[in-house]
Structure 1
Amino acid sequence: MNSIMKKFILILLCLFIFPISAQPTFKVEPISGNINTEFQEFGPSISKDGLELYFYSKRKGANYTDLYKAIRKENKWSIPMPLEELNSPYDDGSPFIFENKSSKSILFSSNRDGSKEFIFPNGKIGVSRDIYFSDFKNNVWTEPKSLSGRINTSAIEENPFLSGNTLYFTRYPFGELQKAKIYSSVYDGRNWSEPKPLPFPINDDSSNIAAIVSDDGKEILFSSNREKGYGGYDIYRAKIHSDNNITIENLGPEINTVGDEAYIIQNHSNNSFIFCRKEPGKSYDIYEGTEISEKDISEMLKIRNKITLNNIYFERNSSKILAESEPALDKVVEFLRKNPDKKVKITGHTDLTGDLDANKILSENRAIAVKEYMIQKKIDSNRIFTEGKGSSLPLINSDDDFASKKNRRTEFEILK
């Protein structure tokens, strides 16, 4: 696997896999500068040096979406400017920038003149969105060209991502985003292979879009509105194991919300990640997740307001807290002492083994045990609330050792 991609995935996943004492902390907030507006901002792509940000948007007075570019100077993003050389009188979007030592190119989606046509049931002719490419030569973008007919069809093709000689993209019938699936096609030096949908459970009966993939194709991040998510579209991670078994994992509440999240990419220059979020009742904006130097759990609570601890240990099938749990719990106590106006909700979770009812009772008792520990540390009981979810909300829907260790967790949510 590409070492940069591997590090990126590990950075995201360590929020959810490792004990809190080993986790980096991230602040997720709207990207700084002049990027976001009252209009929609979609599909970010960033140069390797982190100094050029590409995205698409339909700004005030526009009838169609256009490609935009912003430049980072002195740690600030410039006002985005439309890519006049690439934009057409119609929709242009989903940019993907790829570079090597001597060249820079772009893939994007457009329904410009020359794109595939289709016929509506009423006999009218429509134009699909196809994938185009252009090279940056002599400081100008070359005339965009359509990819192979195997790639572009009368359906919508968008969200291109190139990994080595494999192109990943989203395809769905016009006006039917719920049927969107992620496809891949391999370039042999002359032609693109017939695109194939990625296998289940990456593609399922829900809408699946906007994949980024490691060089070996074993790690995939994508967006989906499948059931049991946190909101509409959530960002998921798929891992393809050596036996070709595929496991799917939601990236969790640090990234996903009750709104929609999609179009995640990595900023290679600082190992941050960039994605799009649509809060309920608002337009899509571009967000950035940046690593913050970890000092202790209390500092993390200031940033996140909600953390998951996998290093709160109990005796087997018991609510008795083991001594090695105390350092982590004492950090939460420290936060509450420094912030006397704050309250905390403690939620216990178990793994998927055992009886459902027994697991719920065990998780409730463990949450209560943590509360009693804090009361012993002189935290007012009226500031502490508890809940036990048992095995009803697993982070990974499996009962193997890896999943069980992650599913057994204690969550602390700071209440205002």
Structure 2
Amino acid sequence: MKSSIITLLTFLSLFSYGQISFEGSGSQVDSLNTPSGQNYLMLNPFKQAIAYTEEKGGLPQSDEVFNSIEKNIGGQSWEVLVFPDWLGEKGMVSPIGFSPFGVFYSEVILDKGIYQGKVKFVSEGKVEELSIPYLKNKAPVQSGCLSKDGKYMILSMESNNTYGVEDLYVVKKKADGTWDRPKNLGFQLNTESQEVTPFLAEDNRTLFFATNRRGGQGSFDLFYSVRQDDSWRNWSEPVNLGPQVNTTGSETSFGYLDGSEWAYYISSQDSDGYGDIMKIRFQEEIEEDTTVVEEPVIAIIEEKEEPKSEILLKVVDAKTGESLPAEMITSVETKIGANGQFVIDSLTGEEVEIKSAGYLPKMIMLDEQLNVGENIITLSSISKGSVVVLDHVLFHRSTANMIEGSQKELNLVVEVMNDNPNIKILLKGHTDNTGDPVKNVQLSEERVKTVKEYIIAQGISPYRVTGRGYGGNEPIASNETEETRKLNRRVEFEVVED
């Protein structure tokens, strides 16, 4: 479609950025903290109530979603909802928001080797699962928040079109009360690192979240950003909440009740467990949308093609971000993207392979998880010295038995070794630092052996595959929270010859 007449609208102002300031530094909420560790904190905007996840050991003793108790916080009586996290024995749950009638929570379960993320609502003991189209989460954790008006849900999850690990997505409630599909909030917020535990202020524009991106003061730092328009993909530069809140430890789950002088968050710094609930005095000045529009001015311009709303895949190097020439292999054809770009004409729901010479291939789904506009697909180099983490090679807890579905990523390793017959790899097994260090090394060696045996069974020469277990001796993230410990429990390979 072409157009030769446009309407020019002059905007005097869009809105004012939220201003956040703190008094003093954070202090522990002693009445809530335990050695078990607290995570995924959420406040109830309708009454004096707080919810959070508490880490547990052993096996679950009941099917209760949470335990409700009354506690004194700052001289006031609070309702406290404690969600148990059984560290993978049964799955994980975490609160994400409230309505006047109940609580919404996130749940991740492991079913036949595949993680499944869900959102549920519980009221008066009755649990209902929300129907959210194309909700797919590959990670063992999922966090989120609900806007006070109930119109928007922000979820942190690892889906098919993430920029790194967990990204932030918006889920909008439709006029008929149903929920739309999750949409990625874009590269201005999401990075190759993790973006987790979002909190949306009552203006529905100011978003707080935790991330372990570069430039922070510790493991996870708390940031905030302001939405610039209704696309939910245009955001102000994220602002670090600063040293009064962020430490060399991990800070997540920032939130506050409108009109309160206190903000609450989770910190692992000087905690008696993996995470403690903290509070800090603060002031926020978040103004409502003050958009002012002048009378339209009609102008004549040269004819030009209007931009199309299309889905674009852009294949880039995971480290440099440079575009890569690539192939997209479907069930019926192989498409060539000389500039690393593919235009998706229709969302078929098919799983396709993205491949580039000298890189480990990746499988993606052509479904509604892809955004209109640009979708970044990162590929890891397999040149000598490169270390590639196998994110989706997973094991049952405390065993060397691979979870069903892990073979899919190992098949890509076999493929790249068949395509590059000179490559030799060193498999590396890692755990977190919890438990007996000697047993951790032994477990990591057993897992490496399992992976090596699988690769060799697919026809790769055993002389091209060696392995070693490192236990918890080479962490790539903090071991202070479950979110970061899971990054240390990994199998990776180093290219020793190419």
Shorter-chain TM-score bucket reads 0.3 to 0.5
Structure 1-normalised TM-score?
0.45
**Quick check: which one's strand share is greater?**
2
**Quick check: which one's helix share is greater?**
1
Structure 2-normalised TM-score?
0.38
